[in-house]
Amino acid sequence: MMLIYRVGMHDGGWAYQLDGTWSETFSTHEDALYAARDAAARQRVGGNDAVITYETAIGKWHTEVAHGDDRPETVVYGSIH
């Protein structure tokens, strides 16, 4: 899985976007780029295994183990065109 962070102008300043969702707004491109790189780096940090339980769209409960070392790859692009 690849997570793509993109920095661009947003709401009168600069922000980063992941999967269509914007971060908070920063006053400079450099600040937004730093924040995007920080967020991307934190996504790659492993954790502990955990058992998760959730309800599917059809109303069926499902339990599985989420492995703490199953982390996505990330990339940060400096601007949105």
User: Tell me, what amino acid is at 15?
Assistant: A
List 33's β-bridge partners, or say none: none
The DSSP string of 5-40 is EEEEEETTEEEEEETTEE---BSSHHHHHHHHHHHH
pLDDT > 70 fraction of the chain, expressed in percent and rounded = 98
Any idea of the CA torsion for 27, 29, 31, 36, to the nearest 10 degrees? 130
Look up the pTM and report it: 0.75
Q: Is residue 81 pLDDT above 70, yes or no?
A: no
What digits encode the pLDDT tens for the residues 4-43?
999 999 999 999 999 999 999 999 999 999 999 999 999 9
**Would you give the end-to-end CA distance of the chain in angstroms?**
23
Mean pLDDT along residues 45-60: 94
- Please, which pLDDT band fits residue 64 given cuts at 50, 70 and 90? very high
Residue 64 DSSP label: E
